[in-house]
Structure 1
Amino acid sequence: MDYKIKKANLEHVNEVAELFDHYRVFYRQASDYEKCRAFIRERLRNNQSHIFLVYAGDKAVGFVQLYELYHYIKLEKQWLLSDLFVHPDHRSKGLSVALIDRSKQWCEETGACGLMLETEKTNDIGNSLYPRCGFAYDGLHNYYHWWN
């Protein structure tokens, strides 16, 4: 599949907010585009998160959002892969893997030791995807880590 990935900035707020709203609905939250838009705008404006959008043609169809953390054992920066979403119409095309690969590349670009994430035990898609992408399951929680 032909796709491109772009790092989001304030010009992309509407695209990210629309996908972020769908993502929250997936996690059983009420749709609230305006609140999502304000949340994403604030994160980007204050450089509090880094978001990558994946495009199929001219349309943003997925995103990943990363937050900076510090790992107490490695004593280094790491990134929390907080949110990953691909619109249902564009799943099973490798876009989630592409977004994860871009997140790993971001670790290299920023000198981070790796990525960590948490997902619900009921998220069958994520719980199958993350180990395939090199994340290790910790057994007690659905926390996954990938180290650079």
Structure 2
Amino acid sequence: MQVIHCTEAQLDVLSALFNDYRIFYEQASDLPACRAFIQQNLRQNRSKIFLLLDDQGQAVAFSQLYPAVCSISMRPYHYLSDLYTTPSTRKSGYARYLMNHITEHFTREGAQRLTLDTATTNKIAQGLYESLGYQREEVYITYHQVLETPI
């Protein structure tokens, strides 16, 4: 297995995986929009994206993380926004391998923590995260206000 810290050289494969990831979360397929989004993230260094290749060099998983800062600890952390493995490779250890890689990567960078969300229905992901030492939030309550897009 090989983990690649992505650049635009991986844009095509990332766009396809990102589109599939969004479909998994019940969004409409939109490969051109996915490509534009990933390309903009890479060009503007808005996120760090990691691609996992299997032993045959096939892309089987990706993760996308966004930088943030914790005011309380006064240290950077990363928000794991996206983690996806192809359906045919699930339960093969690829997600665990990729999670361990990004944990080691951001530990070396001096990040204070990794934070993530997952769907309440995604019990498999919850089991993975908890087995890796992630703790379910029980102190803070999260609120969202969806803002209207200006015309």
* TM-score normalised by L of structure 2: 0.88
Provide the identity percentage: 34
Are the aligned partners of 1:17 and 1:40 in contact in 2 as well (CA < 8 Å)? yes
Paired with 1:28 and 1:142, the residues of 2 have a C-alpha distance of 25
Q: Does 1:4 align with 2:20?
A: no
- Give the CA deviation at 1:62: 0.7
- Specify the alignment match of 1:64 in structure 2: 63
2:51 partner amino acid: L
**Runs of at least 5 residues in structure 1 that lack an aligned partner in the other structure:** 144-148
- Give the CA deviation at 1:142: 9.7
RMSD of aligned alpha carbons: 1.6
**Runs of at least 5 residues in structure 2 that lack an aligned partner in the other structure:** 143-151
Question: CA separation of 1:135/1:26 partners in 2, compared to 1, >3 Å: closer, same or farther?
Answer: same
- Specify the alignment match of 2:84 in structure 1: 85
**Greater fraction of residues in strand:** 1
Question: CA separation of 1:19/1:141 partners in 2, compared to 1, >3 Å: closer, same or farther?
Answer: farther
Question: CA separation of 1:142/1:130 partners in 2, compared to 1, >3 Å: closer, same or farther?
Answer: farther
- Give the CA deviation at 1:128: 1.1
* TM-score normalised by L of structure 1: 0.90
- Specify the alignment match of 2:23 in structure 1: 25
Are the aligned partners of 1:119 and 1:142 in contact in 2 as well (CA < 8 Å)? no
Match of 1:44 among 39, 42, 45: 42
Q: Does 1:132 align with 2:131?
A: yes
SS across alignment from 2:28: coil
Paired with 2:91 and 2:121, the residues of 1 have a C-alpha distance of 19
Paired with 1:74 and 1:21, the residues of 2 have a C-alpha distance of 35
Runs of at least 4 residues off by over 3 Å: 139-143
Paired with 1:72 and 1:136, the residues of 2 have a C-alpha distance of 20
- Give the CA deviation at 1:75: 1.4
**Which has the higher Rg, Structure 1 or Structure 2?**
2
1:102-141 map, 5 Å: 102-139=101-138
1:99-137 deviation digits (Å, cap 9, x = unpaired):
111111121232111100011111111111110011011
1:44-81 deviation digits (Å, cap 9, x = unpaired):
01111111101111211110001001113221000001
